[in-house]
Amino acid sequence: MIGLFRRPWVRRALSNWIQPAAIAGILVFAVMRGAENINYRWQWYRVDDFLFTSENGAWAAGPLVQGLFVTLEISVLSLILTLVIGLATALLRLSSSVVGRGLARGYLELIRNTPLLIQLYVMYFVLGPILGWGQTTTAIACLAAFQGAYTSEIFRAGLRTIPRGQVEAGDSLGLTRLDNYRYVILPQVLRNMLPPLTNEAVSLVKNSSIVSVIAIFDLTTQGRNLIADTFLTFEIWLTVAAIYLAVTLALSTAAAMAERRRAGA
Amino acid sequence: MTSMIGQRKSRFRLNRLDGILMVGLVAAAGWMWYRSAIGVAYRWDWPQALSTVFATGDAGETPFFLTGIYATLRLSLWGAVLASILGVLIGVGRYAGGRTLRMFCGTYIQILRNIPPLVFIFIFYFFISSQLMPLLGLDALFSRPAEEASGWQRFLFGPPALWENLVSGVLCISFISAAYIAEVVRAGLAAIPRGQWEAGESLGIPVLDRYRFVIFPQALARIAPPLTGQYISLVKDSSIVSLISVQELTFVGSEIANSSGLLFEVWLLVAFVYFLLCLSLSILLRQVERRMTRHFHQFA
Amino acid sequence: MSGDTPSIIAFEDVSKWFGTFQVLRDVDLSIGEGECVVICGPSGSGKSTLIRCINRLETHDRGTVRVHGVPLGPGERLPRELRGKIGMVFQSFNLFPHMTVLRNLALAPMRNLGMDKEKAEETALSYLERVHIGDQAEKYPDQLSGGQQQRVAIARALCMQPDILLFDEPTSSLDPEMIREVLDVIFELTDSGITMVCVTHEMGFARKVSDRVVFMDHGEIVESAAPDTFFDAPREERTRAFLNQILHYEASA
């Protein structure tokens, strides 16, 4: 058990996450005490009901947890779409097709040089109606189109960094082309790409909060609505922030563990 | 460059993929035109949109849309200045501070980078308006009569009636951006080989001079490219402060779109303006970057 | 030990640990003013750590290091008055890549000694002449060969007019054909009165240049003797084994 804390990935997780979370907790407490001095009445006990409600002994998700599910659903769906867009863009950029490269380039410049919020508005007010998309579809498409531009760079880098010598080594050993890809190339590509891809997932979860402006009932929207109803501004926002932090924390830690397992294997 | 994929043979010969993509593009464009003209029967009216957007006020005031662009520029400028200062302080603190300082700077960076900017802005805005402004006495400053503002002040900070508004926006975006800049700065410092510090130390160069002449110039050359990216991000991220009613381009665009009903045109126009802003900024910064790093043979 | 000259560097019972690994074991060593001492030994024997304790790039954990008579205890950094007085030449040169050669040399005299720019550059040029690369003053380090870079580094250290010059394997990262030019420059410094401590594997150089050779192994000083005695009649078995390995190789090469 003691040995666990000596392992590099555990220590990294501790210093990257647990420690900041603890300090943040202390800071929040300090702010609370400060706010008490200006007569802010803390009512943390009311927050429980927003997370889980129990009726006749049966537990049900409260509005915040429902919002979290919507956030996760949108994030997962747009992550899948992001990977597709990212890979397609990367392949187009590395392709021999002039139109393909131009298309990829134009898409990247367009996404990189406009704010996500504006992309969302354009999709929601212009493209959505034209294509007959609903809010959720618009939200997923928008997040994926945005993240895909950044993810394509990861794919591109991953595909380009496999040294020619590796391919040649596999060839000269008499591996078939397929086996060469399966056993030599792809494992290396994936090894290089997993950590940055996890960051993309973290980004997606973070960015997904912006879809609250088009009335999707995600975590942020639920938080805003609850505040409008109850005026528990600090309690609810801090809870919402903590939930987002917990999700991104879990993702990063999972990535660290996966990396360690792969390194150990 | 060794690469398995992307052997470019001849640049300007079209191949089968080109054909497929072009057919696909034409089909998509046609479908979009069909949907917008017949499906939702939208009536594009660009002349009307442009005249609405650039209409001067009754008393000859600057067009509302332009005030939004100016506000975004001011927001970006002051946001970048404040974010750079904070970012460098936090980054250096994270890299070179004592244990406690390192921990606090690390916490700041991790938390700000891992909660949605939108959530941070909502929390922080509430905090600013209810606590920070009264605490710093800024509300008194901003409630001075508007006539006292000089032309320069108006040019740099916009109309006095919106100063408080601007400050809220600047604080929000620079606090977020500072976390990213701090991480860039920390990584840049960490990438300087230890020997450079040791050489400076063994030559007896005083510690601040060591930073100033030896470490920072080298770190700056390394961090210039990611820093450029951060500044462009800052301009883009400035759009979300429209949600706390800071009257910048996105806010103004949304007002005009809603009041005129020309949703398609106005939003495309806003997007286009952001695109031009960010693109020209990135070209400009790339020039600056090239000029700055031209002596760095080993990094060039 | 050199009893006739006053000692300028003295290690008294110095130990140091990296975590649980002891790099220096009760080291006692006294170096006289103007003396040229070569320290040799297998890698990981603590040679570099030993000389880095002199200018306090490393601090020790037990015992006392005396520099210029100033006693330095465990964890103590270099006092202000000694800063810049102990020059160091590194294995990897550590020139400042973003400055011209001239500026590399002039920076420390300007910032530490408060020399004005003209004076500092004049001094710098004279030292560049001394290491035979006066014509490279306006170049950037990466435009020079390894041997030239290391000579620049030596000139840079000399610009602070140090009393002590430490060399940490100055030729280890050089291509073979450039080792000579650097060693020649170091050799030319022997009559300058500067105390020199040099960690090196160049045994021919040690024999020709040094007043004394110190052999270290596993963090302790095994043998310390004049070069002739050291190479021709080593007392300790470990020294003999080490010399056998190294010299055998040199002879057969």
User: Which tokens hold the place of A63?
Assistant: 């509005």
Domain-located, residue C237: yes
pLDDT at A11 over 90: no
State yes or no: pLDDT of B92 exceeds 80. yes
Q: Which helix (H) or strand (E) holds C86?
A: strand C86-89
For residues B24-39, average pLDDT: 84
- A17 and B263 within 8 Å at the Cβ level: the answer is no
| Across A84-88, average pLDDT | 91
- A227-241, B124-138, B217-231, C109-123 — which is least confidently predicted? B124-138
Q: Are residues B91 and B203 in the same domain?
A: yes
Nearest to B199 among C90, C112, C143 (CB): C90
> Is beta strand C195-199 parallel, antiparallel or unpaired with respect to C212-217?
unpaired
**Confidence category of residue A104, pLDDT binned at 50, 70, 90:** very high
C201-207: average pLDDT: 90
| Chain C residues in contact with B199 (beta carbon < 8 A) | 88, 90, 94-96, 153
pLDDT digits (tens, 9 = 90+) for A110-140: 999 999 999 999 999 888 888 888 899 999 9
User: To the nearest whole percent, how much of chain A has pLDDT over 70?
Assistant: 84
How far CA B254 is from CA of A117, A145, B68, B158, B263, in Å, comes to: 11, 22, 11, 20, 9
Least confident of B85-94, B138-147, B194-203: B138-147
- Min mean pLDDT across A108-117, A230-239, C179-188, C203-212 is at A230-239
Q: Which residue has better confidence, A178 or A197?
A: A197
Identify the DSSP state of B162.
G
Closest partner residue to B213 among C55, C90, C107, by Cβ?
A: C107
B118 shares contact with chain A (CB less than 8 Å): yes
Neighbours of chain C (3+ CB pairs under 8 A): B
Residue C90 to chain B, least CA–CA distance (Å): 8
User: Is A100 in contact with B21 (Cβ distance < 8 A)?
Assistant: yes
Question: Could you tell me the two tokens for A42?
Answer: 């803390």
pLDDT score recorded for residue A35: 64
Contact criterion met (CB < 8 Å) for B240 and A115? yes
In the predicted structure, residue C67 carries a pLDDT above the cut 70: yes
Q: What share of chain B is helix, strand, coil (3-state, %, to 5)?
A: 80, 0, 20
C220 lies in some domain: yes
Place of tokens 């810049």: C84
Chains A and C touch (3+ CB pairs under 8 A): no
Minimal C-alpha gap between A55 and chain B (Å): 30
Count chain A–chain B contacts defined by CB atoms under 8 A: 180
d(CA C64, CA B158): 65
In-domain check, residue C24: no
Burial status of residue A12 (CB atoms within 10 A of its CB: 0-12, 13-18, 19 or more)? middle
Q: What percent of chain C has pLDDT over 90?
A: 75
Chain A interface, best mutation among B44, B110, B249, by max A CB count within 10 A = B110
**Average per-residue pLDDT in chain A?**
82
Stretch (H or E) spanning B126: helix B117-127
Q: Confidence class of residue B147 from pLDDT cuts 50, 70 and 90?
A: low
Q: Which residues of B touch C143 (CB under 8 A)?
A: 297
Q: Taking 60 as the threshold, does the pLDDT of residue C1 lie above it? A: no
In chain C, the percentage of residues whose pLDDT exceeds 70 is 96
pLDDT of residue B299: 40
Chain B hits for A238, CB-CB cut-off 8 Å, are 123
Average predicted confidence (pLDDT) for chain C? 90
Average pLDDT score over residue span B41-46: 78
DSSP one-letter code for B215:
I
Among candidate residues A4, C210, C111, the one with its CA nearest the CA of residue B204? C111
pLDDT of residue B6: 46
Instruction: Report if residue B112 sits inside a domain.
Output: yes
Closest CA of chain A from B141, distance in Å: 22
Report chain C residues whose CB lies below 8 A from the CB of B201. Answer: 55, 57
- Whether C95 sits inside 8 A of B199 (CB atoms) is yes
- A95 and A159 Cβ atoms separated by less than 8 Å: no
* Distance separating alpha carbons of residues A163 and A150, to the nearest angstrom: 23
Q: How far apart are CA C95 and CA C142, in angstroms?
A: 9
Is the pLDDT score of A50 beyond 80? no
> What pLDDT, on the 0 to 100 scale, is given for residue B252?
92
Q: Which residues of A touch B111 (CB under 8 A)?
A: 20, 24, 245
Would residue C105 count as lying in a domain? yes
- Span A81-85, average pLDDT: 93
Ramachandran assignment for C94, one of left (phi > 0), alpha (psi -120 to 50 degrees), beta (any other): left
Distance of residue B100 Cα from the nearest chain A Cα, in angstroms: 11
Question: φ, ψ for residue C95 (rounded to 5)?
Answer: -70, 155
**Average pLDDT estimate for C182-203:** 91
The share of chain B scoring above pLDDT 90, in percent, equals 37
Task: Of B76-90, B100-114, C21-35, give the lowest mean pLDDT range.
Answer: B100-114
Confidence tier at B146 by pLDDT (50, 70, 90): low
- d(CA C218, CA B241) in angstroms, rounded, equals 63
For residues A41 and C89, which has the higher predicted lDDT (pLDDT)? C89
Residues of B in contact with A121 (CB under 8 A): 250, 253-254, 267, 270
Residues sharing a CB contact under 8 Å with residue C7, sequence separation 6 or more, in sequence order: C30, C31, C32, C33, C66
With an 8 Å Cβ cutoff, are B203 and C157 in contact?
Answer: yes
- List all chains that touch chain B, counting a touch as 3 or more CB pairs closer than 8 Å: A, C
Residues C94, B195 contacting (CB under 8 angstroms) = yes
Q: Report yes or no on B196 lying in a domain.
A: yes
Q: Which domain holds residue B40?
A: 16-44
What pLDDT band is residue A262 in, cutting at 50, 70 and 90?
low
Which among B196, B199, B206 is the nearest to C112, CB-wise? B206
* Structural domain count of chain C: 1
- The CATH number covering residue C191 comes to 3.40.50.300
Task: Answer whether B29 touches A (CB < 8 Å).
Answer: no
C-alpha distance from residue A181 to each of A142, A187, A232, C126 (Å)? 33, 8, 56, 61
Strands C195-199 and C36-40: parallel
For residue B266, CA distances in Å to A122, A255, B43, B271, C153 come to 9, 42, 13, 9, 63
Residues of A in contact with B242 (CB under 8 A): 117
Instruction: List the single residue in B with minimal CA-CA distance to C55.
Output: B202
Tell me which residue range forms the domain holding C124: 34-48+81-252
CB contact under 8 A, A96 and B7: yes
Mean pLDDT, chain B, whole residue set: 83
A207 contacts in B (CB within 8 Å)?
A: 116
pLDDT at B98: 83
In a domain, C126, yes or no: yes
Across B13-27, B103-117, C2-16, the highest mean pLDDT is recorded for B103-117
B203 chain-C contacts, CB cut-off 8 A: 84, 87, 107-108, 112, 156-157, 160
Among residues C222, C221, C196, C223, which one has the least CA distance to residue C211? C196
Tally of structural domains, chain B: 2
Torsion sign across C-alpha atoms B233, B234, B240, B242: negative
Which two three-digit tokens encode residue B5? 């994929």
Q: How far is C134 from chain B (nearest CA, A)?
A: 21
pLDDT number for residue B233: 93
C28, two tokens: 């006692």
CATH, domain range A61-264 = 1.10.3720.10
Tell whether the model's pLDDT for residue B75 goes beyond 80. Answer: yes
Domain membership of residue C57 (yes or no) is no
A135, A124 in Cβ contact below 8 A?
yes
Instruction: Say which CATH number the domain at B59 has.
Output: 1.10.3720.10
**Min Cα–Cα distance to chain A from B158, Å:** 23
pLDDT at A183: 78
Q: Do B278 and A185 touch (CB under 8 A)?
A: no
Asked, for residue B141, whether it belongs to a domain, the answer is yes
Nearest to C50 by CA among C70, C31, C71: C31
Q: What pLDDT is attached to residue B1? A: 39
Per-residue pLDDT tens digits for A171-196: 778 777 777 777 777 777 777 787 78
Nearest neighbour of C140 by CB, restricted to B205, B206, B295: B295
Query: C144-184, pLDDT tens digit by residue?
Result: 999 999 999 999 999 999 999 999 999 999 998 899 999 99
> Is B132 within 8 Å of chain A by CB?
no
DSSP state of C134: G
Residue B54 vs residue B84, higher pLDDT: B84
Q: What pLDDT is recorded for position B140?
A: 65
Q: How close are the terminal C-alpha atoms of chain B, in Å?
A: 16
Average pLDDT over residues C103-124: 92
DSSP at C96: -
Cα separation values, C86 from B44, C153, C236, Å: 78, 14, 32
Q: Does residue C17 fall inside a structural domain? A: no
Question: Do B and A count as touching (3 or more CB pairs closer than 8 A)?
Answer: yes
- Is B297 a member of any domain? no
Q: Give residue B221's identity as a one-letter amino acid code.
A: A
What does DSSP assign to residue C198? Answer: E
pLDDT at residue C3 tops 60: no
User: Which element (helix H / strand E) includes C22?
Assistant: strand C21-32
What pLDDT, on a 0 to 100 scale, did the predictor assign at position B298? 45
In a domain, B208, yes or no: yes
Confidence of residue B300 (pLDDT cuts 50, 70, 90): very low
